[in-house]
Chains A and B, each alone.
Chain A
Amino acid sequence: MLRKFLKGNCNRFRGMISPYIDDRITKAERQSLESHLASCEKCRQELESLRTTVGLLHRLPLVEVPRSFTVVETKPAAVSAVFGRLCWATAIAAMVLVMLSAGDLFHIYPEKSAQPSETLIVAASQTPEPRGAALSTPAPTSAPALTIPPKGGALGTPATDISKPSAQNVPTPVPSPAPGTLAVTAPSPVPGGTETNPTAVAEKAKEGYRWPVHQIELAVLGVAVVMMAATIIVWRRRVQPSIKEGGNG
């Protein structure tokens, strides 16, 4: 019982030995610990062994640094010129992208289905086929055959009869051509389709080239992303200082 009491007492004082070595206990704690040490051999040994350990650690030398760790800043002037240009380029790319997207969103660009270019006016003299004959090749998915109205109807009026009506196939009314002309539908773009008439090609080119808006948008988006990445990289380099490699000291 007494032994157990003494052991518990020692444990209480042993927690105070380390701060006692560093002189970090209160006056009251010091007095009680010192009176305990006077009567406890084990705690005295504990104190001595810890003092020796701390003494060994104090004598441990500090290692010299292998090199200098001083900080130097990267050249800001050269970087800032590039950074400024990149910022501008990124801003312009982003602006173009926004404008294109807005145009696309509000359907400013002509739609393919709304294009009247499917209908061409071809001179009758250049079409050797007999009246009423299909102008396109007999491919199953080709452009519809053209039927000439029996009589009375002006040629080129929207009296054409389309065999496979669909949104794409519905011919758009064209202004009435001069007498002796024939309104026909343009040849189908299906490979192996109708032979292209040189006049039709010229007319089609005259109608105007449709810009591939979506492809341009994608390209501009790509450019903007690359520019943005480059700007961020240059900005980070500009902000971060670098460490000078040096010798001792």
Chain B
Amino acid sequence: MAEDELVQSSRQGDIASFNQLVVIYQRSVFNLALRMLSDAQAAEDATQETFLSAWRHIGSFRGGSFRAWLLSIVANCCRDELRRLKRRPVVPLADIEANPNGLPASTCSVEDDLLNLELREEIHRGLLSLPPEQRLVIVLSDIQGLSYEEIAQATCCSLGTVKSRLSRGRAHLRDYLRIRGTFAGPPSS
């Protein structure tokens, strides 16, 4: 069944169709939550909350990209969680010892491991050093592969804002990696 038909059936209350959409997009949603929150358990909770919320409010989906709509929900969940963490930062000691960068080490297959682990962790730390809104557009664009229009829909902002956030975010990340010697060349002035 095509995505549009699945969405239509879901809107009519067919939970089986909705679950097919969940299976298609759960990886994308979970990965965005993980990159934004840098904590596997928090990302799991945000993903769960996203699909529950999507099922409850699927009637309010007014067309466009369903993936972008889902990602806008998870982005809001992550914003709320980041705001909560900013107010009351909690870092479990066991998590730091077991997994310093928050990414679940065992969940990446060997085939997926295109970059070496050290570089991957460095990029992840670089992403975490960015402001959340820049991080969000970079993850959506360069990791998830969304178009500018989909990013604009997911982040509820204009195309111009998406372009400028992406441009500044990439430049910041490049400078971060350059300072840590990940690739050669002086930081841009």
A residues bordering B, Cβ < 8 Å? 15, 17-19, 22, 24, 42, 45-46, 49-50, 52-54, 56-73, 240-241, 243, 249
Contact = CB atoms under 8 A, between A and B. Distances in A.
B19 A15 contact: no
Contacts of B145: 58
Contact of A50 (B48, B52, B115, B171): B171
A243 B27 contact: no
Interface in B115-130: 115, 119-120, 123
Contacts of B52: 71, 240-241, 243
Interface in B24-38: 26-31, 34
B82 interface: no
A69 B108 CA distance: 19
Interface stretch (B1-9, B59-67, B87-95, B173-181): B173-181
A62 B170 contact: no
B74 to A, nearest CB: 11
Interface string B104-122: 1001110011110001100
B51 A66 contact: no
Contacts of B40: 66
A60 B143 contact: yes
Contacts of B167: 15, 17-19
A65 B19 CA distance: 15
Given A53-B170, A71-B18, A243-B51, A64 B108 contact: yes
Interface of B: 15, 18-19, 22-23, 26-31, 34, 40, 44, 47-48, 51-52, 55-56, 103-104, 107-109, 112-115, 119-120, 123, 138, 141-143, 145, 148, 163-164, 166-167, 170-171, 173-174, 177-178, 183, 185, 188
A178 to B, nearest CB: 80
Contact of A243 (B23, B48, B104, B143): B48
A63 B22 contact: no
A49 B47 contact: no
Contacts of A19: 163, 166-167
A240 B188 CA distance: 52
B110 to A, nearest CB: 10
B27 A64 contact: yes
Contacts of B115: 56, 59-61
Contact of A71 (B15, B103, B119, B183): B15
B108 A61 contact: yes
B55 A65 contact: no
Contacts of A24: 148, 163
Contact of A241 (B15, B44, B142, B143): B15
B108 A49 contact: no
Contacts of B109: 61, 64
A46 B188 contact: yes
Contacts of B171: 18, 50
A69 B73 CA distance: 15
A189 B120 CA distance: 88
6 contacts: A49-B178, A61-B109, A62-B143, A65-B26, A66-B44, A240-B56
A45 B108 contact: no
Contact of A69 (B22, B163, B185): B22
Return the 5 tightest CB-CB contacts between A and B, nearest first: A61-B112, A57-B142, A18-B167, A70-B19, A53-B174
